[in-house]
Structure 1
Amino acid sequence: MKTFKRINRNTFITWIIVILLWQTLALLSTPEFLPGPRDTILGARELIADGSLIKYILISLLRVIVGWSIGSLIGIPIGLLIGRLKIVRDILEPLINFFRFVPAIGFITLFILWFGVGEISKSILIIYATSFVVMLNTATGVLSIEEEKIRAARSLGASEFQILLHVIIPSSIPFIFNGVRLSMGNSFMAIVGAEMIAANEGVGYLIWTSRLYFKTTWIFVGLVTLGIMGYFSDKLLRTLGGKTLKKYGVVSKTQFGSR
């Protein structure tokens, strides 16, 4: 309990310092160039009053959840195969190492040409951004399993499917969970890029179109909104993971980077 209170106190102090620094820089500038916290709050109230901000948040969040969920469901089994079967690893490794360095935003124009400007192109973009992170973390988790565990299960008469179900997957869950968490950040980046170029709704659309009205405050509202959305999405995921997957070694405390 003392540790929890200390963490909360330190977090509160950090945000106070950030807000004070932001306000100081804003006082040295103009609201058109760098709006301060008060101007940003007023801009948010303006967007909430006409209903657009809440609407855009829900639309962007739904897009992220759909694409992120599908991308995770694709990445996990492929990652298990890559980690478990050398032939699959040898075949897919060159492709994965090629495409994972091509950012999702680079495919926006191509996906629009192929799938149109509707929801399909945005979902595929998020799936692309998500699946590689989950895939690589899952494969890393499988490859990190000690061979002695697998031999012991096999010597007890376990089939390959039973080994997968009772040894490989449970041992890989912390890596899978971390990959799923990290991929959520990629999903937010992908949807913002997609909404800036091919959407008429969403937080990315809000940020992009605000320039047309010289509304720098709206841009800051969009940026702060994305940060809050990502923060609480990750916090919710960590909390659920810490409660439901605790026996597999998943903890709810903040983890930076990949395992």
Structure 2
Amino acid sequence: MSTTTTRAGTRRVPANPAGRAALRRAPVAVAGILVILVAWELVARAYGKPLLFPGPAETGSTLLDGLTGGDIPDAAVASIGRVLSGLAIGSLAGVLLGLLSGSSRVLEALFEPFINVFRFIPPLAWFAPALLWLGAGETSKVALIVYTSVFVVAVNTAAGVKAVPKNMVRMARTYGAGPVRVFFAVRLPASLPYIFSGVRIAMGNAFMTVVTAEMLGAESGLGVLITEGTANTDVRGVFAALIVLGALGLCADRLFVLLLRRFGGRFSARTLGGP
């Protein structure tokens, strides 16, 4: 616990405000989960067909079996690998595209129609062309994740560059900074909160896209388990795969927030809207 000294004496202040806030929210989160489980059980009993709508206990048993001796771990690893690959490539490309578009009116006029046309076309619409052009291997699936990530990051990055206060740019130029120095010392750092927000949104898009791509054609992955479970009327297996997918997404988001709070400095509060 850190301390702060004042004229009135020594006053203790929280060493980790974000951690304390998380602890305060934990009981609420647990209560929310319990409410969902109770509601799930009530709906399952009211439906009365456990084969088609299993309750939490039946799904939990299937989930445990899948984690300990089934295909869930391998499927999860395959899906995570595709998400990480596509998200990394898409985010880097999106940041570059957004920086260029936001820094120049000429480049904005060149790129903005292209960005706005393609970002409204869902990745599912590109599955057949991707399959024809790139084959049924990993490349086509990663390409779809890149597609669903790049434009949201580009739009956020461009918005961040445009939002840089003009007085900051003028001040840097007053002290002799050239265009390149202004870009790297002023525009890029000031755009980081927007970039981080774009990557966080793109992460959610990536998880949704990877399952769709795997359901349409893959040898492994959580989407494959969902497809097989549906074909075999194994709703418990489908629910188990969905729970794992949601848990992975939640863990990925929390890890992103944790790293941002740890290494993002003053940009983390602006990005996350909290301490």
Work out whether the TM-score is over 0.5: yes
TM-superposition CA deviations, 1:76-117 (whole Å, max 9, x none)? 011011111111111111111111100111111110111011
Q: Which residue of 1 aligns with 2:40?
A: 22
Matched, 1:240 2:268: no
CA RMSD, aligned part only?
1.6
Where 2:268 maps in the other structure, the secondary structure is coil
Counterpart residue type for residue 21 of structure 1: A
Q: Which residue of 1 aligns with 2:269?
A: 251
Counterpart residue type for residue 15 of structure 1: I
- Distance in 1 between the 2:24 and 2:233 partners? 42
Q: Which residue of 2 aligns with 1:162?
A: 181
Q: Aligned pairs, how many? A: 255
Structure 1 residues without counterparts, runs of 5 or longer? none
State the structure with more CA Rg: 2
The change in CA–CA distance for 1:3 and 1:72 in structure 2 (over 3 A counts) is closer
Alpha-carbon distance, 1:255 to partner:
5.9
- Distance in 2 between the 1:168 and 1:47 partners? 48
Q: Which residue of 1 aligns with 2:165?
A: 146
TM-superposition CA deviations, 1:171-206 (whole Å, max 9, x none)? 000100010111001101111111001101000111
Alpha-carbon distance, 1:254 to partner:
5.6
Matched, 1:173 2:192: yes
Q: Is the 8 A contact 1:243 1:252 kept in 2?
A: no
Matched, 1:93 2:112: yes
- Distance in 1 between the 2:268 and 2:152 partners? 18
TM-superposition CA deviations, 1:148-182 (whole Å, max 9, x none)? 11111111100111111110111000100010111
Alpha-carbon distance, 1:50 to partner:
3.2
Matched, 1:121 2:121: no
Q: Which residue of 1 aligns with 2:206?
A: 187
Q: Which residue of 1 aligns with 2:78?
A: 59
Identity, % of aligned positions: 33
Q: Is the 8 A contact 2:193 2:271 kept in 1?
A: no
TM-score w.r.t. length of structure 1: 0.94
TM-score w.r.t. length of structure 2: 0.89
The change in CA–CA distance for 1:32 and 1:252 in structure 2 (over 3 A counts) is farther
TM-superposition CA deviations, 1:44-85 (whole Å, max 9, x none)? 123224331000000100110011001111110110111111
Q: Is the 8 A contact 1:67 1:123 kept in 2?
A: yes
